[in-house]
Chain A
Amino acid sequence: MEGICNRLAPRCVLLDVQEQDLKQIIRTMVTALTAEVPVSDPDRLVREVMAREQLSSTCIGNGCAIPHAHSDTVHTSLIVAARLATAVTLDTPDGLPVSLVFLLVGPARRAMAHLKLLSKLARILHDEESRKSLRAATSADEFLGAICKGEMNG
């Protein structure tokens, strides 16, 4: 079973990110990813994630968004989490500004695994307790712990 916990490294948990523009936020997240694993073309990855955003918003409500992309710039499915210092206004189904952003990238040939991870992330973020824990976390480890707990509860 695809797990969130083993796809999200502590160094890929970014707390109190200052950026307010979605593309800049994605760029910051991709930069964190490149520090953790090889990404053959980070700029292309940013473009692919933004192209997916053009298709339709990946905001799921309650201040959460899961931008994602199939990309051959990575060899496996990976996640980067960003908690924004100030929530940003994006195209959301409930009109609430977004402060929790999870970037999910994975190769196109692993579409089913990608789909499972995306669904699992959505489930965790739909849970109010999980969102509270993520917003209250004081460290990356605590944030990661909240995600793992949410995952275990499923």
Chain B
Amino acid sequence: MKLLVFVLNNEEFLEEVLEAYVEAGVTGATILDSEGMGRFLAYEVPLFAAFKEFMKGNKPYNKTILSVVKDMQTVDRVRKLVDPLIGGLDNGGTGIMFTVPVDWVSGLVPEEEEV
């Protein structure tokens, strides 16, 4: 099993991204409101206030989607569907997707029961 983490920079794509997740076979995920480091530094730390202009164009807030998936095939399906939706993960600033191994889990709802 894998923990699939996707930091989606443009929140406008959230709905379509989640649709892609479902289509790819990911039926459960947790969505967190998150914030880029650049925005926090430029707006919350006075020392870095002059870098607001430098950060311009970056999305200040983003969404982090966490989902436990059973295998890499599922991850591949998610990536293939999500990639064109958000403008290509290889194009900087669209988002970051990665996995980490999950060696134990409890509380997962069986796929057929998830919404």
Residues of A participating in the B interface, judged by any CB pair closer than 8 Å: 52, 55-58, 60, 66, 68-70, 93, 111-112, 115, 118, 122
* Interface pair B48/A55, CB less than 8 Å apart: no
Partner among A68, A93, A122 whose Cβ is within 8 Å of the Cβ of B50: A68
Q: At the interface, yes or no: B46 with Cβ under 8 Å from chain A?
A: yes
| Count, chain B residues at interface, CB 8 A | 7
* Interface pair A118/B48, CB less than 8 Å apart: yes
Residues of B participating in the A interface, judged by any CB pair closer than 8 Å: 46-51, 54
Show 12 A/B contacts (Cβ-Cβ < 8 Å), sorted by A.
A55-B49, A56-B46, A56-B49, A58-B46, A60-B47, A70-B50, A111-B54, A112-B54, A115-B51, A118-B47, A118-B48, A122-B47
A60 to B54 alpha-carbon distance, docked (Å): 21
- What residues of B have a CB within 8 angstroms of the CB of A118 in the complex? 47-48
A115 to B42 alpha-carbon distance, docked (Å): 11
* Interface pair B50/A52, CB less than 8 Å apart: yes
**Nearest CB of A to B92, in Å:** 13
Interface contacts beyond A57-B46, A118-B47: sample of 20 additional A-B pairs, CB < 8 Å, sorted by A: A52-B50, A55-B49, A55-B50, A56-B46, A56-B49, A58-B46, A60-B47, A66-B47, A68-B50, A69-B50, A70-B50, A93-B46, A111-B51, A111-B54, A112-B54, A115-B48, A115-B51, A115-B54, A118-B48, A122-B47
Most buried by A among B49, B50, B51: B50
**Nearest CB of B to A119, in Å:** 8
